[in-house]
Structure 1
Amino acid sequence: MRIHQLSSAIANQIAAGEVIERPASVVKELLENSLDAGADAISIEIGYGGLNQIKISDNGHGIIAEDLPLAVAAHATSKITTLDDLYAINSMGFRGEALASIASVAKVTISSKTAHQEHAMMLQVQNGQHVLSPCARTIGTTIDVVDLFFNAPVRKRFLKNEKLEFQAIELVIKRFALSAPHINLIVKHNGKLVLSLPAAIHEQAKRDRMAKIFGSSFIKDAIYLDVERGAMRLYGWISGPNYQRSQNDRQWVYINQRMIKDKLINHALKQTYDGMLYPGRFPACLLYFTINTAEVDVNVHPTKHEVRFQQPRLVHDFFTSQLSAALQSDGQNNTEQTLQDDSSGVTSSFNSKLYDVAGEAINMAYSFESTNKTSDVGRPYRFLEESDERYESNFYQNKLELAEPLTSQASYVAPLRPLGSAQAKKNLYSDIDECSWVALNNQYSLVFIEQQPYIVDVLVLQQKWLLEQLQQASTPLESRPLLVPVRYSLSLKLKERIEELQHYIEQLGIRSEWSIKEDKLLIRSIPIYVPYLDLRLFLEAVADLQCIQISSLLELMSQMQRFDPKLLAIEERMALNQFLLKVQNQKSQFHGVFKALSADDCRMLLHV
């Protein structure tokens, strides 16, 4: 076949494949057009998840009648005129592809009126045919997209159901709402009002909008920063170490008002929180970054989600340094508060006894600090706040008391392996002679096994050890009742999810019931096998799981154990020693957990 020029219809459908992936893509492009048009009020009507209809009306400047046919033509735009404009883009849209792409795969009607027109005009587009006629409307533009992908059945088959497609649309709208807080937004789905966001001009109104979208739990623990360096400014909110998510879906970063997903910034966030979060957990942030438009290229991808910086290292270092400084400053403030509380006697502790088979008691003290937000060491049970109010209980103020002491089947560190006889204890303590530990930081330790040095990721090692113990236990896991139940406020969505998973949660040794009078979840017993389980993160992560299996829940539970290698008790060290001795030859299964250091490795470390 000889080379030939593609028709405009085929070319537009190819472009639509890059720009219009699903109904949410249409909403994104149309909202950006409304923002560029200077609108401060936008109404969005969605029919059947956007599969049947997407109608967006604004009060922007409008499109003059003569330009309406050009609005749906490929590579026609009012945003740029010269090549230099392409490298200093100040608008959201500029490629001139969106409306042409949409019109090639849907039936589109555009009605618009400018301040200088006597009456509005309407353009109907279907299968490349244009019909222009007068209509009635106020200043602004309405774009009605009907029957998306009607002429591309293969594309339509790849779409999700109505619920999932609307969820994607809702996410786009919420992201847009935080990029342009001055715009009043009304959203309807199948004729029902689902979201109303009044224009937020003042700072408190902006925070209210953020709380409505991000959730009050994020706001309560969020750290605000606002810094400038030269032509760069970074401001917004980041989560503290205690707020962790199972996904990175709450890392929203805007560059010059544009929502982007950038690997450079993602790496900066990951590096900033390295060592602060559980493996597989993510922080949340809402950050606004402004930079000279000539220093960033947004013409990298048709969807404009990706950008390229002229000085990437400078931007990366700016993010890491400022985010780290904000976290450190917040930590210092909370440490000062904790010291004051300690001096006033707020910190409380309690002792419980662990009994071995011979009935010999081992006393262990657990200390709980009531206000320290930067560290959860010694605070075994923390809860995710999903509602507008923080749950009320004696948990933070008073001691967490067990109704009865732990028995021989529930040792503090190795609950599945009681200490047993004096000879057994002597053998266990002899492991200390075979393994010497030096904590390097909160995650890594230098361990000597029979004089051979190893670098060990103690957090991961402890998780793997705990998972092995849990897998060997029988379900339901043994639990101990609490004298005073922990009260936990839930959002309606999380409440329904927890009720669905009640059977699985009970299999893990967590006994709970819903108090209708208090409208709270009451935790009445806790698993003895995981003494420092972070329940806040655990319940959140369980609710996020799509496929529920006991094996996946046990693995999740092992990851939620709060652990500090620098504060290893002797029993903990004994248990990990035995586990490390057992698996030291299973290097393929424990890749990334520990590594033997040779003389060459040490030499390389010194001469890097």
Structure 2
Amino acid sequence: MAKIIKLDERLSNMIAAGEVVTRPASALKELIENAIDAKATKIEIHLKNHGLDEIKVVDNGIGMEATDLHLAFLRHATSKIKNEYDLAHIVSLGFRGEAVPAIASVSKMTISSKTLETDPYTVTYEGGVLVHEGRIALNQGTEVKVRDLFYNVPARLKYIKSPQTELAYMLEVIDEMMLANPKIAFVVSHDQKVLRTTSGSADYLEIFANIYGNDIAKSLKIHDIEQNDIRIKAYLVSPQITRARKNDVIVSVNGRTIQNYVLVNSVVEGYHTHLMVGRYPIAYIDIHLDVSLVDVNVHPQKKEIKFSNEYVVANLIRTCVGDAFKVHNESIPDSLKTPSPTVKYTGFELWESGDNVEVIKPNRIEETPLEIKTEQPKPKLPEMSYIGAYAGTYLLFQNPQGLYLVDQHAAAERIRYEIIFERLGDHKTERKQLLTPILYHFRPTEQDIVEHNRMLLASYGLDFEVIQDAYALRELPLWLDEKDIDYMVYSLLEQLRTYQSIDIKKLRDQLAKDVACKGAIKANKALNTHEIEHLMEALKACDNPYYCPHGRPIVISFTQYEIEKLFKRIV
């Protein structure tokens, strides 16, 4: 007797549901994608009891006929693709024909729809079995209700988080859809309370305000870049406002939000020293490129895609984000001043507003341009007199405008960073011979990278010679110290593995940071007057005297007005 049997359609759909519908948020994502594919200009999302009792999505799209309603519940039935060519040139969000039957197999699902030419019709499936159908009253478009999700799969319910957590996941999905589809009006409610609403006017200031609040939205900066038919538009929130996780770095490709470590990391790298260590920005990156260059058919939930030019896109993103922060003025943070309701001050660089985005800026210290290589004026510290030190770490200064505190370690770190970065020079400088070669025993993956990039590595001063099972270095770039060679070698290999290219400026930057931090004046070290004068003169000569290489403030101010207000001299 044969041991292999063909599973029935209902059981197959329940198995597929394990991949497609992992939680209420994933079911909601599929429903919204179907509404977008139906060319809807308005989508309403109504949730009951954190989406656990009911998820309802209503759109004003093209709708479906009664026959199509039944076909939609069949696995691999879809209107999105018809042949292999369509599969390689997918322009819709959905295409697999798995979502509806998968959701229906583990819930009580009702779909009602009306086209321009046909009467409205409704069908209801419970656990993948048809239980009701008939005519109803409905405007053009489609209404989908998903009730009691996982009611027939008790094991899945055990893994559902708290109701509040599940609602948070669903709002994350909705936020991504709103960002990726600015021309669609969204209305989102939970237990009849409106949580989100957008007009569909493609106004990203409005969308960011709905998702993150007005304070964050008013710091929005927009920057774009285009190269070889790859168009990238970056919507960047001020680095003053950060998160502990990368969840708020959202990337979409041709309108599809995706998860991609390389691209998200390139956004973080683009912010560079504007972010403190361990903090991440709020950003939305909108990428458009030829659909034939991406493969979205690699994951059931369609959140992961493959690029034919991933590293080119990553480098473009990093350049786009970095360019957005090249032109900006900076100011000393005022520690006592109450922040404006539209801007938060946390010690990071301030930057100018993007197009059509109004930003309320604090009063700036008068700045005088100095002669430098760039076209922008160099930030200048105000004239101030030294009056003492606090806790062996913070130097106190004053002038008619108020009181200033200088972190001596951060100041010394910035000074050393700029000096060391300049001395490191570029990779075309001379090389120095080593008395004894440095041997490296690379792993197989690292050996493969070295072998395929021998010429490129040699151009950066790392000419590897194979000696039995090891790789030997006999000379180094003149600017590189021997103690830093391991860092450089493995950093270059990591760059080649991740981006298939080398960014020597990024490498020099990290080396300069590490060396500067190790040798800078430490906290709790008393300085004499001569040392303090020398420190401040060197700090004034820096390109950025306000922030250390890791994004921490060097100088903070207490205005005389705010000090007198604290002492009730001013009411």
Matches within 5 A, 1:475-486: none
Q: For the structure 1 residues 127 and 348, does the alpha-carbon distance in structure 2 shift closer, same or farther, using more than 3 Å as the test?
A: same
Could you tell me which residue of structure 1 aligns to residue 441 of structure 2?
A: none
Question: Which residue number corresponds to residue 420 of structure 2?
Answer: 440
**1:187 Cα deviation (Å)?**
1.6
SS at match of 2:143: strand
Q: Kindly indicate whether the alpha-carbon contact (under 8 Å) linking 2:388 and 2:396 is maintained by their aligned counterparts in 1.
A: no
TM-score norm. by structure 1 comes to: 0.59
Equivalent residue for 2:310, pick from 298, 309, 312: 312
Quick check: 1:24–1:169 contact (8 Å CA) kept in 2?
A: yes
Alpha-carbon shift at residue 313 of structure 1 (Å): 2.6
Which of 388, 396, 400 lines up with 1:354 in the alignment? Answer: 388
Q: Would the aligned equivalents of 2:114 and 2:142 in 1 still touch at CA under 8 Å?
A: yes
Q: 2:368 aligns with which of 315, 320, 343?
A: 343
Q: Residue 81 and residue 331 in structure 1: after superposition, are their counterparts in 2 closer, same or farther (change >3 A)?
A: farther
Partner of 2:9: 8
Instruction: Decide whether aligned partners of structure 1 residues 277 and 300 sit closer, same or farther in structure 2, where only a CA change above 3 A counts.
Output: same
- Aligned equivalents of 2:397, 2:161: Cα separation in 1: 50
Q: What is the aligned partner in structure 2 of residue 457 from structure 1?
A: 514
CA contact (8 A) 2:196 2:211 kept: no
Partner of 2:326, secondary structure, is helix
Q: Residues 113 and 141 of structure 1 are in contact (CA less than 8 Å); yes or no, is this contact kept in structure 2? A: yes
Residue pair 2:10, 2:128 contacting (<8 A) in 1 also: yes
Native 8 Å contact 2:206 2:217 kept in 1: no
For residues 298 and 152 of structure 2, the distance between their equivalents in structure 1, rounded to whole angstroms, comes to: 29
In 2, Cα distance between the equivalents of 1:339 and 1:48?
Answer: 49
User: Who is 2:537 aligned against?
Assistant: none
Question: In the alignment, does 2:291 pair up with 1:284?
Answer: no
**Hey, what's the Cα distance between the residues in 1 that align with 2:122 and 2:53?**
20
Are the structure 2 counterparts of residues 326 and 438 from structure 1 closer, same or farther at C-alpha, using a change threshold of 3 Å? closer
Distance 1:561 1:272, change over 3 A: closer
Compute the displacement of 1:285 (Å): 1.4
Paired residues of 2:188 and 2:196 also in contact (CA < 8 A): yes
1:399 — aligned with what?
A: 402
Cα 1:316–1:437 shift into 2, 3 Å = closer
Q: How many residues are treated as equivalent by the alignment?
A: 406
Q: Give runs of aligned pairs for residues 113-262 of structure 1, distance below 5 A.
A: 113-117=114-118, 119-130=119-130, 131-201=132-202, 205-262=203-260
Contact 2:205 2:218 in 1 (8 A): no
Looking at structure 1, the residues matched to 389 and 178 of structure 2 have their Cα atoms a distance apart, in angstroms, of: 57
Query: C-alpha distance in 1, partners of 2:518/2:300?
Result: 44
SS of the residue 1:3 aligns to: coil
What aligned pairs does 1:567-578 form with structure 2 within 5 A after superposition? none
With over 3 angstroms needed to count, the CA separation of the structure-2 counterparts of 1:563 and 1:279, relative to structure 1, is farther
Match of 1:78 in 2: 79
- Output the TM-score relative to the length of structure 2: 0.63
Q: Which 4+ runs in 1 deviate beyond 4 A?
A: 330-335, 337-340, 344-352, 361-368, 411-414, 436-439, 451-456, 458-463
Give the secondary structure class of the aligned counterpart of 1:145.
Answer: strand
Could you say what secondary structure the match of 1:91 adopts? coil
Per-residue deviation, 1:80: 0.2
Is the CA contact 1:341–1:347 (under 8 Å) kept in the aligned structure 2?
Answer: no
Matched residues in 2 for 1:56 and 1:363: separation?
A: 57
Farther-moved stretch of structure 1 (102-111 vs 453-462): 453-462
Work out whether residues 108 and 125 of structure 2, in 8 Å CA contact, stay in contact via their aligned partners in 1. yes
Partners of 1:37 and 1:60 within 8 A in 2:
yes
User: How has the CA–CA distance of structure 1 residues 367 and 458 changed in structure 2, closer, same or farther, with 3 Å as cutoff?
Assistant: farther
CA contact (8 A) 1:121 1:134 kept: yes
More displaced stretch, 80-89 vs 172-181: 172-181
- Aligned identity (percent) is 29
Secondary structure at the aligned position of 2:189 is classed as strand
Structure 2: any 5+ residue segments left out of the alignment?
A: 331-349, 353-360, 370-378, 410-415, 425-480, 485-510, 525-544, 556-571
Residue in 2 that maps onto 1:373? none
Residues 349 and 365 in structure 1, CA contact (< 8 A), matched pair in contact too:
no
Deviation at 1:220, TM superposition (A): 3.8
Taking a change above 3 Å as real, the CA distance of residues 365 and 106 of structure 1, as seen in their structure-2 partners, is: same
Task: Answer whether contact 2:49 2:190 (CA < 8 A) is retained.
Answer: yes
Give the secondary structure class of the aligned counterpart of 1:249: helix
1:47 Cα deviation from its structure 2 partner: 0.9
Aligned AA for 2:121? Answer: M
Partners in 2 of 1:256 and 1:8 — Cα distance?
Answer: 33
Shift of 1:206: 3.5
Assess, with a 3 A threshold, how the Cα gap between structure 1 residues 113 and 367 changes in structure 2: closer, same or farther. farther
Q: Give yes or no for contact 1:240–1:327 (8 Å, CA) kept in 2.
A: no
Shift of the alpha carbon at 1:563?
5.6
For residues 212 and 274 of structure 1, the distance between their equivalents in structure 2, rounded to whole angstroms, comes to 28
Contact 1:352 1:363 in 2 (8 A): no
Cα separation, partners in 2 of 1:283 and 1:441, compared to 1, 3 Å = farther
What is the CA deviation profile of residues 78-121 of structure 1, one whole-angstrom value per residue up to 9, with x for unaligned ones? 0000111011111111010110110010000111111111x211
- Which runs of no fewer than 5 residues in structure 1 stay unpaired? 369-396, 403-410, 415-435, 445-450, 470-531, 535-558, 565-608
> Does the C-alpha gap of structure 1 residues 563 and 248 become closer, same or farther in structure 2, counting only changes over 3 Å?
farther
Q: Is the alpha carbon distance of 1:441 and 1:45 closer, same or farther for their aligned partners in structure 2, counting shifts above 3 Å? A: same
Q: Aligned in 2, Cα 1:399/1:57: closer, same or farther, shift over 3 Å?
A: same
State the distance in 2 between where 1:364 and 1:43 align: 57
Distance in 1 separating the partners of 2:255 and 2:398? 46
Please give the alpha-carbon distance, in whole angstroms, between the structure 1 residues aligned to 2:270 and 2:389. 42
CA-to-aligned-CA distance 1:472-527 (integer Å, 9 cap, x gap): xxxxxxxxxxxxxxxxxxxxxxxxxxxxxxxxxxxxxxxxxxxxxxxxxxxxxxxx
